[in-house]
Chain A
Amino acid sequence: MQAAGGEFDEEEYTLRKRLPPRLPLRPNDVYVSEKTHFKAQESRCQKLLDAGNEVIIHGLGKAVNRAINLALQLQTKGAGTVQLAVQTSSVELTDDLIPETDEGEGRTTTRNNSAVHIRVFRANVGEEGQKNIEPMEQTCKPTTAALKS
């Protein structure tokens, strides 16, 4: 967990993290967390992938590693049929500072945290033969999104 961006006195404020603003929540969007069992996440993604040929895995902050791991696992299990498209971004997070004293005013601080969005997909059956020959590294290349000021 990152510390809050702004400076504040612990005596005068308690920190309360707000939820990060949610990105799309379609049926095939998977938000990876640190707390969920890895195998369960993997099987969930696998099921979605088998059903719709596309899953989008999102990981924020500490869960970025996990998201990448998960996507790579899916890729290896796919035995060459599964491809990845990666995008990174930074997410603006808000913390509420709740005053402990009567004089304190409510404040918020914002900070940025990095996130990764991995599109895991199966190419169409017709193209499958050609896609298999292509090197995987090219599709995996991450594109860094501009950091918000």
Chain B
Amino acid sequence: MSKKRKIEDEQSISSKGEGPPSEKKKKMNTKSTPKKAVPITDIKIASFVEHRSVEIQAMAELVQDIGGNHTAFQKLPNHMRRRAMSHNIKRIPRRLHAVAKLELSKTKAPGKRPSRRHRRRPSNLLSEYERRKRKIGWLETHIWHAKRFKMVEKWGYRLAYHPNDKSIRACYRAVKRHCLLQDVSFEACIEVRGNRQTLLEGLGHITSSESGLTFGAKITAGGARQGQLILYNMDSYPKNTIGPVTYLWQPQHQDKGIERGPIFNTLWISCHPSIYKEVLNELKKCFGSEDLSDCTESILGVKDGTGVTIKSLKDQLVKFRLYGPSSNLVLAETLQIADTEVLSFSPEKVEESKKNKTMWWKNFFSSSDNKKMLVQQSQVWQKIAKCQSPCEAPPNCVIALTVRDPRLMLPPKKNKVQVANAGSVTNVLPMDMFNTDIATSPLWEAWIREELKATKISEQELNRIKSKHLIPGTPLELGDMESRIPIILIQRPGVSSFITSETNPSHSSGWDLIIPSGFAMAFWVALVYRGARVGGIREAKSICLQAGLLSAPDDYPDSVAGQAELKSNSNLQEAKHNRMPPAKRPNFVKLGFLSPFNFEFQKLLTDWHIKWKEINVSKLELKQVNDETVTVLRNRKMLRLLQSAITNPKAFLKKTSKGQTLNNSEEQSVVKTLLSIEIGKKLVSEEISSLIPVRLSILHRGVPATYGHICLPLHDDLKALDNDKTFGGPFEPKHSDPGQAKRKEERKERLRLRKLESKEIINSNSVLGSTSRDIIGFVKDGDFDLVKGQGLGFGFCSVAALLALIENQKDRRICLALVRNPTSLQYRFSSISLLM
């Protein structure tokens, strides 16, 4: 409406402005000629006409444009308009017919949209889905999620972010008491195959034994346990982190290997999709392959010398993640052990059935070894299914099973599974129960996976069989036709071992269920029908925060993928801030936040490095800071040392100084104590300017927010807290905003000015000294912890700053830090501990 009105206004203005002068000119011309009676020879007609023609042309053009971008009949005055002019050209004045015809021919009527009934037919719907899938990856459960979830584009996939119903607390309760389910099939798997020794040599370049176990760890070697580690770029530890991965060795029977001669071992490395390409390229580099271009091809490099095959299994396996104590029950109900008895034991018939390609299991389980394993596996599973929490199984243990098609045992209604063993007592599961045999699975074989996919009974076929079923509702018996699906279950211990003393150690423990692709929906619906609640990325993140685990990729700010994620997040935040009207935005200059949408890790590290030099000037030699890259301390020995210092500084000093003779005149200091220990010395000299992940538990009120500051409390603050236990925390004095007066003067340019000024300030100031309490780090994530009913945060601090914090509070039993949110002047006390 308003647009139209504007256009009309313009029309009237232009007609008023241009109409009268031309008339005046005419009048003047006619009046002047009789008076002066200029002889006609004085006018040079040719040039006169030439000039006028230019004027007329200009005027004609102007007149044509009047009325804006409208069709001919839309430009008509109101009284000349008729109904349905666009439909019937004869209603337009005759003089405009030609113009209207031209215009009509340009606009082409769109073809009729096919009816909804046609569009919703299964085959047409599928082709539409295929078209949409081409742009971005879809998980197999995509359509199920798209109906119920907020979907976001991330890491090359369209992923479920959070459920559309009100569900934050419901999801928390599911994790705590029942079962939460998440589809994590986006995690990419890479298969590396070769001689074990060769593999370990190659992979040694991208791992470090200092930051935890490596691929060669004995505990994971048999394939009975899953391992976790952090990958680095080729030989560049501790810099250039790629990110965390989990790995699994294929279980092998030793006696078989001797028969075969050269032993080939297979390794599955599973990583986040954001680091998938980097991992793949780095793996190729490890085994000397220079060809990095063909990323999409499955079989990448087969070198004759080493015989290492790297194969991408991206999107070939489906992975579901279950959290919570009832995940055992839900899985036990869903996973029914398949009947793989090969009925005919006579060798001829076995041969016959082997020829029958559709039944991989007849072939596979005809060997007595495999059959024995199957029996063992089902026995172990029955024991585990009776446990009341996944945490009763050993951490990261692997169980392989071969199960029935879950579509055949689907309960008629969605229902929460009840505690099955209400009256029974479970015994401790023995450690040796989880051996290599239990973890051996046919899922490792590519041909079995392919065959499974090919022989899967389609939904349509299944429905047809069901409709012909004599007694509806009774379970179907398909016999040999039914798929026997090999799956792998991997236990996840949940809460990080660093914080088990604080929280329930079983919280968020669960299982990872790996199934062959093609069967995702079958299992998904079956799990949901047993009462598993489904969560998305948001839920997974909040679980990670509460469990004290780092989530890939954004909790790894020293990796390329992590930085990209942080950058995109900060861009989003800034755009959101700029969308608000200026009066509704917090004035970050006044609040003393120099970079409300960025983590200034680089500045923090350099500032603290300088400060550290000033304080401990004579004592040590320091490694020069590299200005470009951020490193995160991942050396586990150093982390453990720091952890023992920070959890109880007083006890730490007492314990470590026991063996040494200290001069009584000199005061005890944490730095000196650290320097007396070898690993501590190394920490101080090498890692002083790296970041360290910390967990913040707020003492009283308040919830930490992203981009908040972690600050060093003054002695007065701590004293105030000691005097008054309910002291909520000090206040930051309001900062002055030099640009405010100027902005008020130039209201029109306010928006632009504010943006400019805030950027200038960021560039000119350093992190230290910008606030009344020294900044020691930044809050990465914060949330209300439903376990404790208090604020919980996770952030990164500088190591030098953390040492300063411990030094300041060496007489205390708990180290305290201050946390301030970007939108507030209030500092909050929080206890601080380390994370790994």
Contacts and interface: CB of A to CB of B under 8 A. Distances in A.
Contact of B219 (A15, A16, A17, A104): A104
- Which of B214, B218, B391 has the most A CB atoms < 10 Å from its CB? B218
Interface string B191-227: 0000000000000000001001110111100000100
Nearest to A33: B504
Interface stretch (B85-93, B133-141, B419-427, B748-756): B419-427
B812 interface: no
Contacts of A25: 388, 419, 422
B425 A92 contact: no
Interface SS of chain B: helix, strand, loop or mixed? loop
Interface in B340-368: none
A102 B389 CA distance: 29
B422 A26 contact: yes
B394 A99 contact: no
Interface stretch (B493-501, B510-518, B692-700): B493-501
Contacts of A104: 218-219
Nearest to A99: B219
B395 interface: yes
A138 B505 CA distance: 39
B278 interface: no
A128 interface: no
Contact of B637 (A11, A94, A103): A11
A21 B218 contact: no
Interface in A89-110: 92, 94, 96, 98-108, 110
Contact of B217 (A11, A23, A102): A102
A16 B505 contact: yes
Contacts of B497: 14-16, 98
Contacts of A26: 422-423
A104 B394 CA distance: 16
Contacts of A125: none
Contact of B505 (A17, A22, A110): A17
A19 B505 contact: yes
A126 interface: no
A143 B193 CA distance: 60
B218 A102 contact: yes
A102 B431 contact: no
B213 A102 contact: yes
Q: Interface residue tally of chain B, by bracket? A: 20 to 34
- Which of A1, A14, A16 has the most B CB atoms < 10 Å from its CB? A16
A24 B424 contact: yes
A19 B425 CA distance: 14
B725 to A, nearest CB: 19
B419 A101 contact: no
Given A16-B493, A19-B506, A100-B636, A108 B431 contact: yes
A106 B398 CA distance: 14
Interface string A25-49: 1100000000000000000000000
Contacts of B209: 101-102
Contacts of B217: 99, 102
Nearest to A24: B423
A141 B328 CA distance: 38
A36 B268 CA distance: 43
B506 to A, nearest CB: 5
Contacts of B187: none
B428 interface: yes
A11 to B, nearest CB: 7
Contacts of B394: 18, 96, 106, 108
B198 to A, nearest CB: 17
A105 B505 contact: no
Given A99-B218, A102-B217, A106-B225, A19 B392 contact: yes
Contact of B392 (A21, A24, A98, A106): A21
A83 B422 CA distance: 24
Nearest to B388: A22
B391 A21 contact: no
Nearest to A94: B428
B638 to A, nearest CB: 13
Contact of A21 (B225, B426, B505, B506): B426
Contacts of B392: 18-19, 21
A107 B395 CA distance: 11
A36 to B, nearest CB: 11
B425 A21 contact: yes
A147 to B, nearest CB: 16
Contacts of A1: 501
Interface string B413-437: 0000001001111111001000000
Nearest to A27: B422
7 contacts: A16-B497, A18-B392, A21-B426, A25-B419, A98-B497, A100-B636, A104-B218
Given A17-B500, A25-B422, 20 more contacts: A14-B497, A15-B497, A16-B395, A17-B505, A19-B391, A19-B392, A21-B387, A21-B427, A22-B388, A22-B426, A24-B423, A24-B424, A25-B388, A99-B213, A99-B217, A100-B212, A102-B217, A104-B219, A105-B218, A106-B225
